[in-house]
C-alpha cells in the first residue's frame, strides 16, 4: 500500500467544488468538518480531496498553510481506512473550523474519527436506499 497523495487525488475542479457545496452532505468531528458528495469524476482514484482553513480564524497565511499541510498529511497516512470500506467515487472537502491550531497527533485522531463517521453515514444511506 502506497501512502501517497497524488495530483489525481487532489480536488481542483471548480465545477466539482461548486457541486460539493451545493449538494453535499457533511459529518463533523471538531475541529474538522468533512463535506462529501457522490460524483462520477474523471480520475481513476475513488476520492478527490481538498482541504480548507478559514481566513477569518487564521489571518496569517503561514498559519493557514501549516494547518492545511497537517490535514493533508493526516489524510495521506489514513486514507486506507476509506479505501477499504468505500467502493464508489466521492468528492470530499475537509474544512478546519477551530480557532486555535491543534497538535498533529490530535488532528490526526480527529481525521480518523471523521472518516469513520463518513463510512457509517454512507453505509446507512446505502441500506436505506
Question: Per residue in 42-79, pLDDT tens?
Answer: 878 889 999 999 999 999 999 999 999 999 999 999 99
Quote the pLDDT of residue 118: 96
Q: How far is CA 96 from CA 3, 40, 41, in A?
A: 22, 26, 25
Domains of the chain with bracketed CATH: 7-122 (3.30.230.10)
| Nearest of 112, 126, 46 to residue 78 by alpha carbon | 112
Quote the pLDDT of residue 43: 79
| Nearest of 53, 30, 47 to residue 114 by alpha carbon | 30
Quote the pLDDT of residue 44: 83
Amino acid at each position: 500500500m502506497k501512502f501517497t497523495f497524488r495530483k489525481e487525488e487532489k480536488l481542483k475542479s471548480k465545477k466539482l467544488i461548486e457541486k460539493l457545496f451545493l449538494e453535499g452532505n457533511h459529518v463533523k468531528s471538531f475541529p474538522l468538518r468533512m463535506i462529501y458528495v457522490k460524483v462520477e469524476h474523471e480520475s481513476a482514484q475513488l476520492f478527490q480531496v481538498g482541504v480548507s482553513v478559514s481566513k477569518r480564524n487564521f489571518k496569517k497565511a503561514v498559519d493557514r498553510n501549516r494547518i492545511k499541510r497537517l490535514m493533508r498529511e493526516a489524510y495521506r497516512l489514513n486514507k486506507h481506512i476509506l479505501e477499504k470500506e468505500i467502493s464508489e467515487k466521492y468528492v470530499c472537502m475537509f474544512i478546519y473550523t477551530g480557532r486555535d491550531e491543534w497538535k498533529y497527533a490530535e488532528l490526526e485522531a480527529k481525521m480518523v474519527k471523521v472518516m469513520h463517521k463518513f463510512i457509517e453515514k454512507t453505509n446507512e444511506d446505502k441500506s436505506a436506499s
